[in-house]
Chain A
Amino acid sequence: AQTVTQSQPEMSVQEAETVTLSCTYDTSESDYCLFWYKQPPSRQMILVIRQEAYKQQNATENRFSVNFQKAAKSFSLKISDSQLGDAAMYFCAYRSRSGGSNYKLTFGKGTLLTVNP
């Protein structure tokens, strides 16, 4: 079974600075997707960024980018120019793209990000 580990329960960053959230995962599959979700105090789950494992290029969405290291099974999220609205719980998630469970998302326990003004 796949597992997702987020080793940082909490992180903080100064407004306008850069922060990196860590995520590692364990899988024996070669074809999968990785995601970062943001959960603000409203609890709504918002997709921040996704990475297909077959793509070598790291995904980027405006101020959000990932460092995907497939061999190391590492998938970190970098937030540049942090804003107060970035404060939230961030979840890393895995989904297989093959086999019979290619719909099931497996989440880490989350990292609570605080942004200091």
Chain B
Amino acid sequence: NAGVMQNPRHLVRRRGQEARLRCSPMKGHSHVYWYRQLPEEGLKFMVYLQKENIIDESGMPKERFSAEFPKEGPSILRIQQVVRGDSAAYFCASSLQGYNEQFFGPGTRLTVL
């Protein structure tokens, strides 16, 4: 009964490269959330997805960031042309329904050189 899985756990990119972060929700969960934790800060909501749909992306920067949750496979958070300010821990959570408890993955720590 695996929990939420995220990979990679650590990702290093140079400025201008692309970062792809993956999240596999808990078995049976079809609701996925992405949060970002900047240094010395709490987690901040980025986006909420159901299978094949983006429900709320109000917390996501308008440029360079995108997210998807396809019918098959993990949810992907994609950051194009990364900058140093994108360095952070990115957490994925999943739930059975949108109002249920969210279970968090271990996070991906992105470092931009």
A: residues with CB less than 8 A from B are 4, 42-47, 50, 91, 93, 97, 101-110
A50 → chain B closest CB, angstroms = 8
**Residues of chain B at the chain A interface (Cβ within 8 Å):** 31, 33, 35, 40-45, 48, 55-56, 59, 89, 91, 93, 95, 98-99, 101-102, 104, 106-107, 109
With the chains together, A93 CA to B44 CA distance in Å? 11
Please state if A105 and B45 are interface contacts (CB–CB under 8 Å): yes
- A-B residue pairs in contact (CB < 8 Å), sample of 17: A42-B106, A43-B107, A44-B106, A45-B91, A45-B107, A91-B42, A93-B42, A101-B56, A103-B48, A103-B56, A103-B95, A103-B98, A104-B59, A105-B33, A105-B43, A109-B41, A110-B41
Query: Whose C-beta in chain A lies nearest to the C-beta of B55?
Result: A103
Contact residues in A for B55 (Cβ distance below 8 Å): 103
Return chain B residues, CB-CB under 8 Å to A103: 31, 33, 48, 55-56, 95, 98-99, 102
Q: Which residues of B have CB within 8 Å of A44?
A: 104, 106-107
Q: In whole angstroms, what is the CA distance A103 to B93 when docked? A: 11
In the complex, given contacts A44-B104, A103-B95, what are 16 additional A-B residue pairs having Cβ atoms less than 8 angstroms apart?
A4-B42, A43-B106, A44-B107, A45-B93, A45-B107, A91-B42, A97-B99, A101-B56, A103-B33, A104-B56, A105-B45, A105-B102, A107-B42, A107-B43, A109-B40, A109-B42
